[in-house]
Amino acid sequence: QVQLVESGGGLVQPGGSLRLSCQASQGGFRLYEMGWYRQGPGKQRELVARFILDGASRYYPDSVKGRFTISGDSVKRTVYLQMNDLKPEDTAIYYCNTWPSTVDWGQGTQVTVSS
């Protein structure tokens, strides 16, 4: 079973940036339609970005559009999420998975936006 390992989270001030990474542990796992999700305190997990690797299609909800960018590297089996102009409401644990989610959820990476 493939494992998805997220990293890159941390504490950042409002307006700051972070770049999250998600690497698939299994060499045979093919990154195709992938997504980044997040779960804030007391909230349900939500999709914040998805794309088809090596494709032009991207989706972002209005809450992050223009601030978040999803990308990936099929050779490194890694998906990235560049997050700019972070806001306190972006505070959450961030996860990656296929879209729709079909792989066991990883531990995620905590992002905290606070002054």
What are the pLDDT digits (tens) for 38-72? 999 999 999 999 999 877 789 999 999 999 999 99
d(CA 103, CA 11): 27
Question: In the prediction, which pLDDT does 75 show?
Answer: 87
- Separation CA 80–CA 48 (nearest Å): 12
Greater model confidence, 102 or 61:
61
In the predicted model, is pLDDT for residue 90 greater than 90? yes
Query: How far is residue 55's CA from residue 44's CA, in Å, rounded to a whole number?
Result: 28
**Taking residues 2-20, what's their average pLDDT?**
96
Residue 110 bridge partners (DSSP):
93
Average pLDDT, the chain: 93
For residue 26, what pLDDT band results from cuts at 50, 70 and 90?
confident
Q: Which two tokens stand for residue 92?
A: 């959450």
77 CB-near residues (< 8 Å, 6+ apart): 23, 24, 26, 27, 29, 31
Q: What percent of the chain has pLDDT over 70?
A: 98
Q: Is the pLDDT of residue 30 over 80?
A: no
Q: 45, 38 in Cβ contact below 8 A? A: yes
Q: Is it the case that residue 27 has pLDDT exceeding 80?
A: no
Q: What is the pLDDT of residue 53?
A: 83
Residues 87 and 15: their CA atoms lie apart, in Å, by 6
pLDDT (average), residues 1-5: 87
